[in-house]
Amino acid sequence: MIFPRIGLEIHIEAKTKTKMFCNCLNEPNENRPNKNICPICLGYPGTLPLINKEAINKVILLGLLCHGEVEKFTFFERKHYFYPDLPKGYQISQYQKPIIKNGKITLSNGRVIRIKRIHIEEDTGKLYHYKDYSLVDYNRAGVPLIELVTEPDITNSQEAYEFAKKLREILVFNEISNASMEKGHLRLEANISVSKKPDRLGTKVEIKNLNSFKSLKDSIDYEIKRQTNLIKKNKKIIQQTRGWNEKLKKTVPQRAKEEAEDYRYFIEPDIPPLLISKQWLNEIKKSLKKTPQELKKDLKNKYDLGEKTLETIFSNKTLVEFFSEVEKKAYEIFKNKASEVIKTSFNFGAGVILNLMHQYPIDASKLKTEEFLKIIELYQQGKINNLIAKKLIKDQYLEGLTIAQLIKKHNLDNINRSIDIQKIIEQILKYNKSAVKSYLDGNEKVLQFLIGQGMKIAQGKIDPKTFKDKLIETIKSTKLIKE
Ligand code: ZN
Ligand code: MN
Protein backbone atom coordinates (compact mmCIF):
# COMPACT_ATOMS: atom_id res chain seq x y z
CA MET A 1 0.00 0.00 0.00
CA ILE A 2 1.05 3.55 -0.76
CA PHE A 3 -0.25 6.50 1.25
CA PRO A 4 -0.16 9.91 -0.45
CA ARG A 5 -0.29 13.02 1.72
CA ILE A 6 -0.97 16.42 0.23
CA GLY A 7 -0.78 19.90 1.71
CA LEU A 8 -1.77 23.08 -0.07
CA GLU A 9 -0.17 26.49 0.04
CA ILE A 10 -2.46 29.13 -1.36
CA HIS A 11 -1.79 32.78 -2.12
CA ILE A 12 -4.81 35.05 -2.36
CA GLU A 13 -4.81 38.64 -3.56
CA ALA A 14 -7.10 40.49 -1.17
CA LYS A 15 -9.74 42.79 -2.58
CA THR A 16 -8.98 46.15 -0.97
CA LYS A 17 -9.06 49.75 -2.09
CA THR A 18 -5.37 50.38 -1.54
CA LYS A 19 -2.13 48.45 -1.24
CA MET A 20 -0.87 46.78 1.94
CA PHE A 21 1.47 49.48 3.24
CA CYS A 22 0.81 52.61 1.14
CA ASN A 23 -2.03 54.56 -0.41
CA CYS A 24 -1.51 53.37 -3.99
CA LEU A 25 -4.60 51.83 -5.55
CA ASN A 26 -4.94 48.07 -5.49
CA GLU A 27 -6.18 47.87 -9.04
CA PRO A 28 -5.59 44.46 -10.64
CA ASN A 29 -7.12 45.62 -13.95
CA GLU A 30 -4.72 48.53 -14.44
CA ASN A 31 -3.00 47.84 -17.74
CA ARG A 32 -0.81 50.93 -17.94
CA PRO A 33 2.48 49.72 -16.41
CA ASN A 34 3.83 51.38 -13.25
CA LYS A 35 0.77 53.57 -12.79
CA ASN A 36 -0.02 52.74 -9.16
CA ILE A 37 3.39 53.08 -7.54
CA CYS A 38 5.00 55.32 -4.92
CA PRO A 39 8.26 55.51 -2.96
CA ILE A 40 6.83 53.19 -0.26
CA CYS A 41 5.89 50.25 -2.49
CA LEU A 42 9.08 50.75 -4.48
CA GLY A 43 11.08 50.51 -1.24
CA TYR A 44 12.90 53.84 -1.41
CA PRO A 45 15.16 54.45 1.58
CA GLY A 46 13.64 56.57 4.32
CA THR A 47 10.01 55.73 3.58
CA LEU A 48 7.72 54.27 6.23
CA PRO A 49 5.12 51.58 5.55
CA LEU A 50 1.68 51.84 7.19
CA ILE A 51 -0.63 48.87 7.82
CA ASN A 52 -3.84 48.72 5.74
CA LYS A 53 -6.64 47.92 8.20
CA GLU A 54 -9.02 46.76 5.46
CA ALA A 55 -6.55 44.02 4.50
CA ILE A 56 -6.20 42.86 8.12
CA ASN A 57 -10.01 42.75 8.37
CA LYS A 58 -10.17 40.45 5.36
CA VAL A 59 -7.60 38.05 6.81
CA ILE A 60 -9.45 37.91 10.13
CA LEU A 61 -12.75 37.39 8.31
CA LEU A 62 -11.29 34.49 6.32
CA GLY A 63 -9.83 33.06 9.53
CA LEU A 64 -13.17 33.17 11.32
CA LEU A 65 -14.98 31.63 8.34
CA CYS A 66 -12.45 28.79 8.43
CA HIS A 67 -12.95 28.36 12.20
CA GLY A 68 -9.43 29.56 12.99
CA GLU A 69 -8.00 31.24 16.10
CA VAL A 70 -7.15 34.92 15.85
CA GLU A 71 -3.76 35.93 17.28
CA LYS A 72 -4.18 39.00 19.48
CA PHE A 73 -0.56 40.10 19.23
CA THR A 74 1.26 39.77 15.93
CA PHE A 75 4.02 41.50 14.02
CA PHE A 76 5.59 41.65 10.57
CA GLU A 77 8.87 40.23 9.41
CA ARG A 78 11.14 40.73 6.42
CA LYS A 79 11.69 37.77 4.15
CA HIS A 80 14.83 38.35 2.11
CA TYR A 81 15.48 37.17 -1.38
CA PHE A 82 16.71 38.81 -4.51
CA TYR A 83 14.54 39.02 -7.58
CA PRO A 84 13.85 41.92 -9.99
CA ASP A 85 10.09 41.89 -9.29
CA LEU A 86 10.79 42.55 -5.59
CA PRO A 87 11.97 46.17 -5.43
CA LYS A 88 12.94 46.23 -1.73
CA GLY A 89 15.04 43.06 -1.88
CA TYR A 90 12.74 41.65 0.80
CA GLN A 91 9.05 40.95 1.18
CA ILE A 92 7.20 42.16 4.27
CA SER A 93 5.53 39.02 5.54
CA GLN A 94 4.70 37.14 8.73
CA TYR A 95 6.65 34.14 9.92
CA GLN A 96 6.60 33.49 13.65
CA LYS A 97 3.11 34.85 14.35
CA PRO A 98 0.55 34.48 11.59
CA ILE A 99 -2.72 36.35 12.28
CA ILE A 100 -4.66 33.08 12.10
CA LYS A 101 -3.77 29.57 13.22
CA ASN A 102 -5.59 26.25 13.52
CA GLY A 103 -8.48 26.60 11.09
CA LYS A 104 -10.26 23.91 9.16
CA ILE A 105 -12.49 23.19 6.19
CA THR A 106 -14.62 20.04 6.16
CA LEU A 107 -15.03 18.15 2.88
CA SER A 108 -18.19 16.44 1.63
CA ASN A 109 -16.78 13.02 2.54
CA GLY A 110 -16.45 14.17 6.15
CA ARG A 111 -12.68 14.59 6.11
CA VAL A 112 -11.47 17.60 8.04
CA ILE A 113 -8.60 19.44 6.38
CA ARG A 114 -6.73 21.41 9.03
CA ILE A 115 -5.43 24.85 8.19
CA LYS A 116 -2.09 25.45 9.84
CA ARG A 117 -1.86 29.20 9.34
CA ILE A 118 -3.16 32.20 7.45
CA HIS A 119 -0.96 35.26 7.29
CA ILE A 120 -0.72 38.51 5.39
CA GLU A 121 2.14 39.69 3.21
CA GLU A 122 2.69 41.80 0.11
CA ASP A 123 2.64 40.76 -3.53
CA THR A 124 5.51 41.25 -5.97
CA GLY A 125 5.59 43.09 -9.28
CA LYS A 126 5.37 41.36 -12.64
CA LEU A 127 8.13 40.62 -15.11
CA TYR A 128 7.65 40.52 -18.85
CA HIS A 129 10.35 38.68 -20.76
CA TYR A 130 11.16 39.44 -24.38
CA LYS A 131 13.79 38.11 -26.72
CA ASP A 132 16.81 40.00 -25.39
CA TYR A 133 15.40 42.14 -22.63
CA SER A 134 12.83 42.09 -19.80
CA LEU A 135 10.43 44.71 -18.47
CA VAL A 136 9.04 45.10 -14.98
CA ASP A 137 5.64 46.43 -13.89
CA TYR A 138 5.27 47.33 -10.19
CA ASN A 139 1.50 47.96 -10.19
CA ARG A 140 1.05 44.72 -8.28
CA ALA A 141 4.02 45.25 -5.94
CA GLY A 142 2.74 45.76 -2.40
CA VAL A 143 -0.79 44.50 -3.04
CA PRO A 144 -2.09 42.67 0.07
CA LEU A 145 -1.53 38.96 -0.32
CA ILE A 146 -3.07 36.40 2.02
CA GLU A 147 -1.17 33.15 2.39
CA LEU A 148 -3.01 30.06 3.64
CA VAL A 149 -1.18 26.84 4.46
CA THR A 150 -2.91 23.54 5.22
CA GLU A 151 -1.63 20.54 7.11
CA PRO A 152 -0.88 17.56 4.83
CA ASP A 153 -4.35 16.11 5.52
CA ILE A 154 -5.44 15.71 1.90
CA THR A 155 -5.13 12.21 0.48
CA ASN A 156 -5.99 12.53 -3.19
CA SER A 157 -6.47 15.00 -6.05
CA GLN A 158 -10.26 15.08 -5.72
CA GLU A 159 -10.02 16.23 -2.09
CA ALA A 160 -7.50 18.91 -3.04
CA TYR A 161 -9.82 20.08 -5.78
CA GLU A 162 -12.80 20.24 -3.44
CA PHE A 163 -10.82 22.11 -0.79
CA ALA A 164 -9.71 24.73 -3.31
CA LYS A 165 -13.25 25.11 -4.66
CA LYS A 166 -14.73 25.50 -1.20
CA LEU A 167 -12.12 28.05 -0.25
CA ARG A 168 -12.79 29.97 -3.44
CA GLU A 169 -16.53 30.07 -2.67
CA ILE A 170 -15.80 31.50 0.78
CA LEU A 171 -13.48 34.14 -0.69
CA VAL A 172 -15.90 35.25 -3.39
CA PHE A 173 -19.06 35.24 -1.30
CA ASN A 174 -17.47 37.29 1.46
CA GLU A 175 -15.69 39.66 -0.90
CA ILE A 176 -12.31 38.80 0.55
CA SER A 177 -10.92 38.37 -2.96
CA ASN A 178 -12.19 38.20 -6.52
CA ALA A 179 -10.32 34.89 -6.52
CA SER A 180 -10.07 34.63 -10.29
CA MET A 181 -7.51 31.98 -11.14
CA GLU A 182 -7.01 33.24 -14.69
CA LYS A 183 -6.14 36.69 -13.37
CA GLY A 184 -3.81 35.27 -10.73
CA HIS A 185 -5.83 36.40 -7.71
CA LEU A 186 -5.72 32.84 -6.45
CA ARG A 187 -2.47 30.89 -6.82
CA LEU A 188 -2.10 27.30 -5.74
CA GLU A 189 0.88 25.20 -4.77
CA ALA A 190 0.74 21.60 -3.65
CA ASN A 191 3.14 19.67 -1.42
CA ILE A 192 3.00 16.00 -2.18
CA SER A 193 4.63 13.03 -0.55
CA VAL A 194 3.93 9.33 -0.61
CA SER A 195 4.79 6.81 2.06
CA LYS A 196 4.54 3.09 2.61
CA LYS A 197 3.34 3.74 6.15
CA PRO A 198 0.10 5.57 6.89
CA ASP A 199 1.52 7.30 9.98
CA ARG A 200 4.71 8.58 8.40
CA LEU A 201 5.27 11.30 5.81
CA GLY A 202 7.51 10.67 2.82
CA THR A 203 9.87 13.17 1.18
CA LYS A 204 8.02 16.30 0.18
CA VAL A 205 7.91 17.61 -3.37
CA GLU A 206 6.42 21.01 -4.05
CA ILE A 207 4.57 21.83 -7.29
CA LYS A 208 4.27 25.42 -8.46
CA ASN A 209 2.62 27.17 -11.46
CA LEU A 210 -0.81 25.69 -10.91
CA ASN A 211 -3.08 28.20 -12.54
CA SER A 212 -6.30 26.27 -12.81
CA PHE A 213 -8.28 23.81 -10.70
CA LYS A 214 -7.72 21.27 -13.42
CA SER A 215 -3.95 21.58 -13.34
CA LEU A 216 -4.09 21.20 -9.55
CA LYS A 217 -5.90 17.90 -10.00
CA ASP A 218 -3.83 16.64 -12.93
CA SER A 219 -0.49 17.54 -11.39
CA ILE A 220 -1.32 15.77 -8.11
CA ASP A 221 -2.36 12.62 -9.97
CA TYR A 222 0.84 12.76 -12.01
CA GLU A 223 3.07 13.38 -9.02
CA ILE A 224 1.54 10.60 -6.92
CA LYS A 225 2.14 8.19 -9.78
CA ARG A 226 5.71 9.38 -10.34
CA GLN A 227 6.64 9.09 -6.66
CA THR A 228 4.89 5.74 -6.27
CA ASN A 229 6.93 4.33 -9.18
CA LEU A 230 10.17 5.58 -7.61
CA ILE A 231 9.31 3.97 -4.27
CA LYS A 232 8.39 0.68 -5.91
CA LYS A 233 11.78 0.65 -7.64
CA ASN A 234 13.41 1.48 -4.28
CA LYS A 235 14.72 4.77 -5.66
CA LYS A 236 15.17 7.91 -3.59
CA ILE A 237 12.72 10.79 -3.90
CA ILE A 238 14.54 14.11 -3.98
CA GLN A 239 13.10 17.02 -1.99
CA GLN A 240 12.60 19.69 -4.62
CA THR A 241 10.34 22.22 -6.25
CA ARG A 242 8.78 21.12 -9.52
CA GLY A 243 6.70 23.03 -12.03
CA TRP A 244 3.60 21.80 -13.82
CA ASN A 245 4.00 21.71 -17.57
CA GLU A 246 0.50 21.96 -18.99
CA LYS A 247 1.53 20.92 -22.50
CA LEU A 248 3.50 17.84 -21.50
CA LYS A 249 1.03 17.03 -18.68
CA LYS A 250 3.88 16.35 -16.30
CA THR A 251 5.87 17.95 -13.50
CA VAL A 252 9.42 19.06 -14.24
CA PRO A 253 12.17 19.84 -11.70
CA GLN A 254 12.77 23.54 -11.02
CA ARG A 255 15.09 23.85 -8.05
CA ALA A 256 16.17 22.27 -4.79
CA LYS A 257 14.01 23.55 -1.94
CA GLU A 258 15.38 26.41 0.11
CA GLU A 259 15.04 26.23 3.89
CA ALA A 260 13.54 28.97 6.02
CA GLU A 261 16.96 30.20 7.17
CA ASP A 262 17.87 31.01 3.58
CA TYR A 263 15.41 33.88 3.82
CA ARG A 264 17.12 35.44 6.86
CA TYR A 265 13.80 36.47 8.44
CA PHE A 266 13.92 39.30 10.95
CA ILE A 267 11.30 41.51 12.55
CA GLU A 268 10.30 44.47 10.37
CA PRO A 269 11.72 47.44 12.31
CA ASP A 270 9.57 50.06 10.58
CA ILE A 271 6.19 48.66 11.59
CA PRO A 272 5.07 48.43 15.24
CA PRO A 273 3.45 45.18 16.43
CA LEU A 274 -0.18 44.70 15.56
CA LEU A 275 -2.64 44.37 18.43
CA ILE A 276 -6.06 42.99 17.59
CA SER A 277 -8.44 44.11 20.34
CA LYS A 278 -11.59 42.32 21.44
CA GLN A 279 -13.63 45.26 20.25
CA TRP A 280 -12.07 45.13 16.77
CA LEU A 281 -12.67 41.42 16.57
CA ASN A 282 -16.31 41.82 17.62
CA GLU A 283 -16.87 44.38 14.87
CA ILE A 284 -15.71 41.83 12.31
CA LYS A 285 -17.75 39.06 13.90
CA LYS A 286 -20.85 41.21 13.52
CA SER A 287 -20.28 41.44 9.76
CA LEU A 288 -19.71 37.70 9.53
CA LYS A 289 -21.84 36.03 6.92
CA LYS A 290 -22.41 32.33 6.76
CA THR A 291 -20.41 30.23 4.35
CA PRO A 292 -22.17 29.17 1.14
CA GLN A 293 -22.27 25.58 2.44
CA GLU A 294 -24.03 26.68 5.63
CA LEU A 295 -26.48 28.84 3.68
CA LYS A 296 -27.31 25.96 1.34
CA LYS A 297 -27.94 23.64 4.26
CA ASP A 298 -30.17 26.21 5.98
CA LEU A 299 -32.29 26.76 2.88
CA LYS A 300 -32.59 23.06 2.24
CA ASN A 301 -33.83 22.40 5.76
CA LYS A 302 -36.18 25.38 5.94
CA TYR A 303 -37.90 25.06 2.56
CA ASP A 304 -37.16 21.51 1.51
CA LEU A 305 -35.48 22.72 -1.68
CA GLY A 306 -34.04 20.31 -4.23
CA GLU A 307 -30.36 20.06 -5.13
CA LYS A 308 -31.01 21.53 -8.57
CA THR A 309 -32.68 24.69 -7.28
CA LEU A 310 -29.89 25.21 -4.76
CA GLU A 311 -27.26 24.70 -7.41
CA THR A 312 -28.92 27.29 -9.65
CA ILE A 313 -29.05 29.87 -6.88
CA PHE A 314 -25.50 29.29 -5.71
CA SER A 315 -24.03 29.40 -9.21
CA ASN A 316 -24.17 33.15 -8.98
CA LYS A 317 -23.46 35.56 -6.14
CA THR A 318 -26.03 38.11 -7.32
CA LEU A 319 -28.71 35.43 -7.22
CA VAL A 320 -27.77 34.41 -3.69
CA GLU A 321 -28.05 38.02 -2.56
CA PHE A 322 -31.31 38.55 -4.42
CA PHE A 323 -32.93 35.49 -2.93
CA SER A 324 -31.78 36.25 0.57
CA GLU A 325 -33.58 39.62 0.13
CA VAL A 326 -36.62 37.80 -1.27
CA GLU A 327 -36.69 35.62 1.81
CA LYS A 328 -36.58 38.59 4.19
CA LYS A 329 -39.20 40.55 2.26
CA ALA A 330 -41.54 37.54 2.05
CA TYR A 331 -41.77 37.39 5.85
CA GLU A 332 -42.58 41.11 5.94
CA ILE A 333 -45.37 40.78 3.38
CA PHE A 334 -46.80 37.33 3.92
CA LYS A 335 -46.00 36.82 7.62
CA ASN A 336 -46.69 33.20 8.59
CA LYS A 337 -47.69 32.24 5.06
CA ALA A 338 -44.26 33.24 3.77
CA SER A 339 -42.64 29.85 3.51
CA GLU A 340 -44.89 28.59 0.68
CA VAL A 341 -44.30 31.74 -1.37
CA ILE A 342 -40.57 31.53 -0.68
CA LYS A 343 -40.48 27.93 -1.82
CA THR A 344 -42.23 28.79 -5.10
CA SER A 345 -40.00 31.85 -5.52
CA PHE A 346 -36.93 29.68 -5.30
CA ASN A 347 -38.13 26.70 -7.31
CA PHE A 348 -39.80 28.67 -10.07
CA GLY A 349 -37.91 32.00 -9.96
CA ALA A 350 -34.26 30.95 -9.68
CA GLY A 351 -34.06 29.38 -13.14
CA VAL A 352 -36.07 32.20 -14.73
CA ILE A 353 -33.83 34.90 -13.32
CA LEU A 354 -30.61 33.05 -14.07
CA ASN A 355 -31.71 32.74 -17.70
CA LEU A 356 -32.48 36.45 -17.83
CA MET A 357 -29.08 37.25 -16.38
CA HIS A 358 -27.41 35.18 -19.10
CA GLN A 359 -29.57 36.65 -21.87
CA TYR A 360 -29.39 40.26 -20.72
CA PRO A 361 -26.23 40.72 -18.69
CA ILE A 362 -27.03 44.16 -17.34
CA ASP A 363 -25.16 45.40 -14.31
CA ALA A 364 -27.92 46.66 -12.06
CA SER A 365 -30.96 44.49 -12.39
CA LYS A 366 -34.15 46.48 -11.94
CA LEU A 367 -35.77 43.50 -10.35
CA LYS A 368 -37.32 44.42 -7.00
CA THR A 369 -37.94 41.76 -4.43
CA GLU A 370 -41.36 43.11 -3.52
CA GLU A 371 -42.68 43.20 -7.11
CA PHE A 372 -41.11 39.82 -7.82
CA LEU A 373 -42.92 38.32 -4.83
CA LYS A 374 -46.24 39.75 -5.98
CA ILE A 375 -45.77 38.09 -9.37
CA ILE A 376 -44.98 34.81 -7.65
CA GLU A 377 -48.07 35.18 -5.46
CA LEU A 378 -50.31 35.62 -8.54
CA TYR A 379 -48.71 32.58 -10.11
CA GLN A 380 -49.11 30.54 -6.97
CA GLN A 381 -52.79 31.45 -6.70
CA GLY A 382 -53.27 30.24 -10.25
CA LYS A 383 -54.27 33.70 -11.43
CA ILE A 384 -51.57 33.74 -14.07
CA ASN A 385 -49.88 30.80 -15.72
CA ASN A 386 -46.15 30.15 -15.83
CA LEU A 387 -45.70 31.78 -19.25
CA ILE A 388 -47.25 35.03 -18.12
CA ALA A 389 -45.33 34.87 -14.85
CA LYS A 390 -42.09 34.58 -16.85
CA LYS A 391 -43.09 37.53 -19.03
CA LEU A 392 -43.84 39.70 -16.02
CA ILE A 393 -40.55 38.81 -14.34
CA LYS A 394 -38.71 39.66 -17.55
CA ASP A 395 -40.39 43.07 -17.81
CA GLN A 396 -39.65 43.73 -14.18
CA TYR A 397 -36.03 42.73 -14.73
CA LEU A 398 -35.51 44.82 -17.85
CA GLU A 399 -37.73 47.83 -17.22
CA GLY A 400 -38.32 47.89 -13.48
CA LEU A 401 -42.11 48.17 -13.92
CA THR A 402 -44.31 47.99 -10.84
CA ILE A 403 -46.94 45.30 -10.55
CA ALA A 404 -49.65 47.85 -11.40
CA GLN A 405 -47.80 48.88 -14.56
CA LEU A 406 -47.26 45.25 -15.51
CA ILE A 407 -50.95 44.44 -15.14
CA LYS A 408 -51.82 47.37 -17.38
CA LYS A 409 -49.21 46.52 -19.98
CA HIS A 410 -50.37 42.93 -20.30
CA ASN A 411 -54.10 43.63 -20.09
CA LEU A 412 -54.40 41.64 -16.94
CA ASP A 413 -56.70 44.03 -15.10
CA ASN A 414 -59.26 41.35 -14.43
CA ILE A 415 -56.83 39.61 -12.11
CA ASN A 416 -57.43 42.52 -9.78
CA ARG A 417 -61.05 41.52 -9.68
CA SER A 418 -59.52 38.12 -9.20
CA ILE A 419 -60.87 35.61 -11.64
CA ASP A 420 -63.25 33.32 -9.86
CA ILE A 421 -62.28 29.93 -11.19
CA GLN A 422 -65.23 28.31 -9.49
CA LYS A 423 -67.66 30.64 -11.26
CA ILE A 424 -66.15 29.82 -14.64
CA ILE A 425 -66.42 26.12 -13.91
CA GLU A 426 -70.06 26.43 -12.94
CA GLN A 427 -70.73 28.30 -16.17
CA ILE A 428 -69.03 25.63 -18.23
CA LEU A 429 -70.80 22.79 -16.51
CA LYS A 430 -74.13 24.52 -17.03
CA TYR A 431 -73.74 24.96 -20.77
CA ASN A 432 -71.91 21.73 -21.59
CA LYS A 433 -74.03 19.11 -19.87
CA SER A 434 -73.65 16.53 -22.62
CA ALA A 435 -69.86 16.90 -22.58
CA VAL A 436 -69.81 16.49 -18.79
CA LYS A 437 -71.97 13.38 -19.10
CA SER A 438 -69.66 11.99 -21.76
CA TYR A 439 -66.68 12.59 -19.42
CA LEU A 440 -68.42 10.84 -16.58
CA ASP A 441 -69.07 7.94 -18.94
CA GLY A 442 -65.34 7.57 -19.35
CA ASN A 443 -64.55 9.79 -22.31
CA GLU A 444 -61.35 11.44 -21.00
CA LYS A 445 -60.75 13.41 -24.18
CA VAL A 446 -63.71 15.62 -23.53
CA LEU A 447 -61.91 17.09 -20.51
CA GLN A 448 -59.48 18.90 -22.80
CA PHE A 449 -62.44 20.53 -24.54
CA LEU A 450 -63.87 21.70 -21.22
CA ILE A 451 -60.51 23.14 -20.13
CA GLY A 452 -60.30 24.94 -23.47
CA GLN A 453 -63.68 26.52 -22.82
CA GLY A 454 -62.54 27.68 -19.42
CA MET A 455 -59.31 29.19 -20.74
CA LYS A 456 -61.30 31.02 -23.38
CA ILE A 457 -63.53 32.63 -20.79
CA ALA A 458 -60.53 33.50 -18.59
CA GLN A 459 -58.55 34.71 -21.63
CA GLY A 460 -55.61 32.55 -20.65
CA LYS A 461 -55.17 34.36 -17.39
CA ILE A 462 -55.51 31.33 -15.20
CA ASP A 463 -53.14 28.47 -14.71
CA PRO A 464 -54.34 25.48 -16.81
CA LYS A 465 -53.21 22.93 -14.25
CA THR A 466 -54.99 24.57 -11.34
CA PHE A 467 -58.06 24.90 -13.52
CA LYS A 468 -57.96 21.26 -14.57
CA ASP A 469 -57.64 20.04 -10.97
CA LYS A 470 -60.53 22.22 -9.80
CA LEU A 471 -62.66 21.19 -12.77
CA ILE A 472 -62.23 17.48 -12.10
CA GLU A 473 -62.84 18.03 -8.41
CA THR A 474 -66.09 19.89 -9.13
CA ILE A 475 -67.37 17.39 -11.68
CA LYS A 476 -66.73 14.52 -9.28
CA SER A 477 -68.36 16.20 -6.31
CA THR A 478 -71.42 17.15 -8.41
CA LYS A 479 -71.68 13.53 -9.44
CA LEU A 480 -71.59 12.40 -5.83
CA ILE A 481 -74.38 14.76 -4.92
CA LYS A 482 -76.53 13.46 -7.76
CA GLU A 483 -75.95 9.88 -6.76
ZN1 ZN B 1 2.69 52.64 -3.21
MN1 MN C 1 4.10 33.71 0.52
What value does the mean pLDDT take over residues 209-214? Answer: 89
**Tens-place pLDDT, residues 134-169:** 999 999 999 999 999 999 999 999 999 999 999 998
The secondary element (H helix, E strand) that includes residue 355 is helix 350-359
User: Helix or strand or coil: residue 172?
Assistant: helix
User: What is the distance in A from the centroid of ligand 2 to the CA of 155?
Assistant: 23
User: What is the distance in A from the centroid of ligand 2 to the CA of 238?
Assistant: 23
Surrounding residues of ion ligand 2, Cβ less than 5 A: 147
User: What is the distance in A from the centroid of ligand 2 to the CA of 401?
Assistant: 51
pTM above 0.85, yes or no: no
Ligand found nearest the CA of 79: 2
**Tens-place pLDDT, residues 312-369:** 888 877 888 889 899 999 999 998 889 989 999 999 999 999 899 888 877 666 788 9
State residue 161 phi and psi, 5-degree precision. Answer: -60, -45
> For residue 173, what pLDDT is reported?
85
Tell me the torsion sign for CA atoms 26, 32, 38, 39: positive
pLDDT at 213 over 70: yes
Ligand found nearest the CA of 122: 2
Q: How far is CA 215 from the centre of its chain?
A: 20
> For residue 272, what pLDDT is reported?
95
pLDDT at 246 over 70: yes
Supply the DSSP string of 49-75, one letter for each residue.
Answer: ----HHHHHHHHHHHHHTTPEEPSEE-
